[in-house]
């Protein structure tokens, strides 16, 4: 689900975000901006942060495949056009507009992928917006960036303030543009990884090839269940591909020796937090609970979950809540069916018959015993007559008498019928020779 370079992509990429770093990184100031949002409409709202070449075009197309969902792709760009740059204030205004627009009540979920920076995602009111981060393996994003930046330097502006922070944090000072854009992206990747435990949904692009995982992510973002067959169709049809390198080892070989060293030094302790391995495509799993000893958990220190592990737990809780909601819906539907059955004419007639039976054949009487023994043969299959007699708790003598009475009654009815038929038969006349 990588991306293919198109003329339209060039138009959007030429619009550069001018980061007012002091404002964008001040989450407290951003929260103050969002403290009194003018909310209109009952639909759900969501915001997804992402970096370039992370599959956002495909994700937006997939989100918009449901008729009740509308998703912008970097919607802030449409609001600032024809300007060629935007700031944090523009993003704030876009989020305010997203909150105020009721979309005429046409959708159940409305959101955006790509407009919001990390500060805005972290500052967005949790009761009004579902927030997410779209991740792709950093080595693959960096590889795509280097491929594109070599031919189109309008893709992203190199920010001197970011390079200064990199030098302060890691003591690295890049000289040429390719190394500078490489380090700048590394810096933003680290900031994104460190923010995974502050959002509601973490989306791993590599895991979106699984239909079940993909449907769960979409449900968490929008609150709407997507049709698995439609999701599978989108998985089979990626869009906007830019690179086709298969192996992660092959990707790393495209980096220079300095770039590989920086990549390993900066990300070796960060990548496991978001579920990626440093030098292969393995997707890491969260650590499990400590093993049981005699049915009791081992006495170990409490586990401190990192961002990725915490996000997995959050997603597990959401999935459990979805399953509980589904089961409650099924119980409600079954209760409605049971009420309808009880109110039906047939059920009321059966209840009337049962009431009459209880009055005519009171429990414990001989009549009730005979009744139960006679209908028992029709209620359950039995292998032999001996087993049947044993199970019905009726003595063999009683059964002999009952069968004898039935035979006598049948003969008493059948013999007169035969005699009557013989008396009514016409006499045969002799035929003359």
Is the full-model pTM beyond 0.85? Answer: no
Residue 111: beta bridge partners? Answer: 46, 71
Number of Cβ atoms within 10 Å of the Cβ of 272: 17
| Angle at CA of residue 353, ends 351 and 356, nearest 5° | 110
Give the Cα separation of 26 and 10 in Å (integer): 31
Residue of 212, 223, 148, 142 lying closest to 183 (CA atoms): 142
The packing angle between helices 138-149 and 177-194, to 10°, is: 150
Instruction: Per residue of the chain (433 residues), give pLDDT as tens.
Output: 434 434 434 444 444 455 443 334 578 888 888 888 888 999 999 999 998 878 899 999 999 999 999 999 999 988 888 887 788 899 999 999 999 999 999 999 999 999 999 999 999 998 899 999 999 999 988 988 888 887 766 546 788 999 999 999 999 998 888 999 999 999 999 999 998 888 999 999 989 989 999 999 999 999 999 999 999 999 988 887 766 666 888 888 889 999 999 999 999 888 888 888 888 877 765 333 333 333 333 333 334 444 555 666 777 787 888 889 889 989 999 999 988 888 888 888 888 888 877 777 788 787 777 777 777 665 655 455 555 555 555 555 666 777 777 887 777 777 777 777 777 655 544 444 4
Under 8 Å CB-to-CB from 70, ≥6 apart: which residues? 64, 103, 106, 107, 109, 110, 111
CA distance 71 to 222: 10
Domains of the chain and CATH, by start: 7-284 (3.40.50), 385-420 (no CATH)
For residues 78 and 150, give the distance between their C-alpha atoms in angstroms, rounded to a whole number: 27
**433 alpha carbon, distance to own chain's centre:** 101
Place of tokens 């970097």: 74
> In this structure, which long-range contacts are made by residues 17-23, counting pairs with CB atoms below 8 Å and at least 24 apart in sequence?
17/85, 17/86, 17/87, 17/117, 18/85, 18/86, 18/87, 19/87, 19/88, 19/117, 19/159, 19/161, 20/87, 20/88, 20/89, 21/161, 23/87, 23/88, 23/89
Segment holding 285, helix H or strand E: none
> Left if phi > 0, otherwise alpha if psi is -120 to 50, otherwise beta: which for 135?
beta
Q: How many CB atoms lie within 10 A of CB 309?
A: 20
Angle between helices 228-235 and 56-63 (to 10 degrees): 150
CA gap 250, 385 in Å, rounded: 79
Contacts of 113 (CB under 8 A, 6+ apart): 48, 50, 56, 59, 60, 63, 71, 72, 73, 74, 134
């Amino acid at each position: 689900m990588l991306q293919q370079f198109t003329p339209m992509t060039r138009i959007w990429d030429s619009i550069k975000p001018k980061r007012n770093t002091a404002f964008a990184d001040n989450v407290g100031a951003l929260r103050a901006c969002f403290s009194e949002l003018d909310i209109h409409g009952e639909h759900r709202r969501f915001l997804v942060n992402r970096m370039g070449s992370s599959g956002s075009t495909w994700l937006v197309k997939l989100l918009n495949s449901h008729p009740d969902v509308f998703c912008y792709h970097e919607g802030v760009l449409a609001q600032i056009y024809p300007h060629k740059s935007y700031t944090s204030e523009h993003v704030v205004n876009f989020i305010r507009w997203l909150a105020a627009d009721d979309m005429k009540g046409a959708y159940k979920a409305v959101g955006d992928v790509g407009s919001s920076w990390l500060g805005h995602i972290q500052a967005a009111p949790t009761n009004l917006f579902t927030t997410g981060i779209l991740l792709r393996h950093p080595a693959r994003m960096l590889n795509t960036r280097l491929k594109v930046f070599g031919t189109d330097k309008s893709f992203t502006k190199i920010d001197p303030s970011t390079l200064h922070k990199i030098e302060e944090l890691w003591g690295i000072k890049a000289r040429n543009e390719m190394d500078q854009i490489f380090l700048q992206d590394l810096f933003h990747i680290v900031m994104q990884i460190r923010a995974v435990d502050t959002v509601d949904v973490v989306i791993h692009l590599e895991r979106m090839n699984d239909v079940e995982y993909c449907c769960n992510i979409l449900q968490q973002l929008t609150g709407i269940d997507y049709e698995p067959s439609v999701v599978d169709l989108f998985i089979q049809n990626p869009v906007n591909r830019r690179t086709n390198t298969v192996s992660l080892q092959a990707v790393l070989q495209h980096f220079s020796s300095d770039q590989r060293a920086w990549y390993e030094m900066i990300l070796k302790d960060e990548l496991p937090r978001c579920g990626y391995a440093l030098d292969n495509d393995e997707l890491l799993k969260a650590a499990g609970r400590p093993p049981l000893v005699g049915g009791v958990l081992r006495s170990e220190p409490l586990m401190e979950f990192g961002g990725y592990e915490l996000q997995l737990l959050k997603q597990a809780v959401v999935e459990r809540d979805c399953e509980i909601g589904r089961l409650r819906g099924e119980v409600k539907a079954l209760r409605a069916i049971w009420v309808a059955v009880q109110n039906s004419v047939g059920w009321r007639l059966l209840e009337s018959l049962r009431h009459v039976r209880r009055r005519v054949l009171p429990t414990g009487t001989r009549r009730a015993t005979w009744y139960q023994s006679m209908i028992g043969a029709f209620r359950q299959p039995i292998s032999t007559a001996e087993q049947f007699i044993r199970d019905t708790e009726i003595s063999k003598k009683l059964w002999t008498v009952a069968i004898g009475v039935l035979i006598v009654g049948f003969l008493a009815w059948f013999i007169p019928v035969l005699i009557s038929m013989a008396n009514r038969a016409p006499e045969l006349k002799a035929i003359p020779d």
